Amino acid sequence: MANQVTFKGNAVNLVGPKLKAGDTAPDFECLTGLEVKTLASTPSKARMFSVVPSLDTGVCSAQTKKFDESIGALKDQVACYTVSLDLPFAQGRFCTAENVANMQNLSDVRNHSFGKNWGTLLEGLPLPLLTRAVFVVDKNNKITYAEYVPEVTNHPNYDAALAALKAAV
């Protein structure tokens, strides 16, 4: 059976593997602005990948702002990313408008490699979207925390994700 979540109460399959703590973080090829980013190009320290369907929605916006505010004291010890299929320009506009300074953007719009490799690409929707998920990866590229939010329109477990990030430092 395929990995599934619900989107507004309807079951939706996820493309790719369901990652868990202990797995090696898969590579990806995303964009930050027009620059290509891969797992190897992220710093070798604790990293959090906050995956959202679109920054233009209320829950996604709240998730990004919550993590941005919460990691302030850790910002020199961690690298935190918001991953979405939004265009890099839209991601940048959002961060400027909302004063998001601690989260970096990764746009998976080009080839959906993050979504496919990390098991977050929603299958069969009218337009491609990523599911809501949070991953913490340690300096050795091991996943120490993985949460696929069961209902895409709900919030992740902020406390658990932040505790995992602090523990990975």
**What gap in Å lies between CA 105 and CA 30, rounded to an integer?**
9
List, in sequence order, the alpha helices (H) in the chain.
58-70, 88-97, 113-117, 158-168
Residue ranges with strand state E in the chain: 4-7, 10-15, 29-32, 35-38, 46-51, 78-84, 103-107, 121-122, 133-137, 143-148
**What gap in Å lies between CA 10 and CA 152, rounded to an integer?**
10
Q: Is 95 a catalytic residue?
A: no
**Which of 30, 60, 80, 95 is the catalytic position?**
60
**What gap in Å lies between CA 73 and CA 55, rounded to an integer?**
24
Contact in structure between 19 and 104 (CB atoms under 8 Å): no
**What gap in Å lies between CA 93 and CA 165, rounded to an integer?**
27
Residues belonging to the active site: 60
